[in-house]
Chains A and B, each alone.
Chain A
């Protein structure tokens, strides 16, 4: 796979570390049901067969965290953006 890093250009995926589903935002820690929400965020996964928004870390490059949309059936990369510029759901 080749990932188009917004800073470094297209690079082989071996430069990146994978961090899983990008949709798992950190819940509000103060909520009454915070523990249940954290359990969901940390452990439960949609794990789709198809487009998957996921985090990749350009560890052997610019150390940016990227949000990559990729088809898990074909490995085709559909979109890459900086994680910090992606609005968390």
Chain B
């Protein structure tokens, strides 16, 4: 299933040229370099994806703001990073942001999450374990795609499954950040970074 989804994206986008160009690390000025360095430090070398490099090329201020959002919401907090990445791909998939889905599928692999779990999330499987992971992902997707429909009951089931209120806020904020990220990525007309495309292609086992 994963293969199908990704192949579809590759065929459609892989060979399109982006409209906006990237600014490489070597060519960047001190202000941008400082942000790139911070990204390297937190995400490793693979983390400086085209998404950041395009922002760096045209608007360092927005790059700074966007990176701060990622750093503060995705990388810090009480929820485990693996869960947050699963939420990321669930929402991105739902909103059909191919770029974000691909990148964060690859990140899930870096975090040792196997294809079965990733597929379960992409297919909205009800067999996801543990239960609270499933409940959290469903809640986040609802928040991101149709927040007006979120009910008291949804919140209650989250709290009943053991989330603290602190964690619920973290989850709601994450849903908003994924939305923001999807919107921006789609707006930039990004093509999946070559390295990531290769990584996903090589590792697909089905």
Q: Do A and B come together as binding partners?
A: no
Binding site for B on A (CB under 8 A): none
Binding site for A on B (CB under 8 A): none
